[in-house]
Amino acid sequence: MNTELLDSNNSGNGRPDPQSDDVARLVGASKIFGEDDAAVTALDDVTIGFRRREFTAVMGPSGSGKSTLMYCQSGLDRLTSGHAYIGDVDVSTLTDQELSVLRRSKLGFIFQSFHLVPALSAKENITLPVDLDSGAEVDEEFLAELTDVLGIANRMENRPSQLSGGQRQRVAVARAMIPRPDVIFADEPTGALDSKTSGELLTYLRQAVDELGQTIVMVTHDAVAASHCDRVIYVQDGRLVGEALHPTVDDVLDKIRELS
């Protein structure tokens, strides 16, 4: 398998430009944290697109810029220079308020530390993004289908503290999916899970892509998780240094060894 589809200098040589119908894309995206001697370049002139109905893994060493890429792409953080598009909207042109409306209506998020609201029931946590979106209504049929597939239908009245780690994670997945977002961004969603629960979650995410047409961008350290994806991209020192389609566990392990 060719894992060298990208030119390592990421100058646009040797890889196609992102397409304008990509559901999300970064163009010449850079992010610098801090100033002067304390400045850290977390993203360095990254150009990449994410296609509809595609499940992409973002991999690379700790501190390489994976989370920064995801946060800037999704408008949770702002680029220092370059552009981050969701559909044809350049998120850098939006006010904070417009950004939060876009995030709520078009994007779903899954984090390693679930970010559930302790005082709300599982059901209230799941429907929160829809409840916050004035004018939107919860699709009860879709909610029932989601919670059934995720195996949490009988835990809807429980608070997060009354659920296991895996159940909390599945509540977070349902919450990300319920508004039928254009893209789900997941930052190490399996990081806190045992291998069985992690496998179940990945199977479900895969199903969401194949059966519901969901687009997913997932940061992960786990080669097995990446092997569930259609594509893996590799980040090192804030730059894109590789890309492969249909990665196998062995391909991913080889590439990780090469980068470390």
Ligand X SMILES: Nc1ncnc2c1ncn2[C@@H]1O[C@H](COP(=O)(O)OP(=O)(O)OP(=O)(O)O)[C@@H](O)[C@H]1O
Where along the sequence are the contacts to Mg ion (CB under 5 A)?
67
Our CB check for Mg ion shows the closer of 69 and 163 to be 69
Classified as helix, coil or strand, 36 is helix
| List of residues 6+ apart from 242 with CB closer than 8 A | 3, 4, 5, 6, 8, 233, 234, 255, 259
Contact 174, 147 (CB under 8 A): yes
Our CB check for Mg ion shows the closer of 70 and 156 to be 70
Residue 65 touching ligand X (CB under 6 A)? yes
Residue 260 touching ligand X (CB under 6 A)? no
CA–CA separation, 66 and 80 (whole Å): 16
Q: How far is the CB of 187 from Mg ion (least distance, A)?
A: 6
User: Which of ligand X, Mg ion, none binds 149 (CB below 5-8 Å, type-dependent)?
Assistant: none
Q: How far is the CB of 238 from ligand X (least distance, A)?
A: 7
Residue 236 touching ligand X (CB under 6 A)? no
In the list 34, 151, 165, 213, the residue contacting ligand X (rule: CB under 6 A) is 34
Our CB check for ligand X shows the closer of 69 and 130 to be 69
User: Which of Mg ion, ligand X, none binds 68 (CB below 5-8 Å, type-dependent)?
Assistant: ligand X
How far is CA 210 from each of CA 53, 213, 227, 228, rounded to the nearest angstrom? 7, 6, 15, 12
Q: How far is the CB of 23 from Mg ion (least distance, A)?
A: 22
Residue 165 touching ligand X (CB under 6 A)? no
Our CB check for ligand X shows the closer of 63 and 165 to be 63
Q: Which of 164, 188, 18 is nearest to 87 (CA)?
A: 18
Residue 62 touching ligand X (CB under 6 A)? yes
Our CB check for ligand X shows the closer of 153 and 192 to be 192
Classified as helix, coil or strand, 184 is strand
Is the backbone of residue 19 left (phi > 0), alpha (psi -120 to 50) or beta? beta
Residue 39 touching ligand X (CB under 6 A)? no
Residue 63 touching ligand X (CB under 6 A)? yes
Contact 72, 235 (CB under 8 A): no
Q: How far is the CB of 41 from ligand X (least distance, A)?
A: 8
Our CB check for Mg ion shows the closer of 202 and 219 to be 219
Could you tell me which stretch among 59-67, 103-111, 130-138, 245-253 binds ligand X (CB under 6 A)? 59-67
CA–CA separation, 79 and 68 (whole Å): 9
CA–CA separation, 60 and 56 (whole Å): 13
CA–CA separation, 159 and 168 (whole Å): 9
Give the binding site for ligand X (CB under 6 A). Answer: 33-34, 40, 42, 60, 62-68
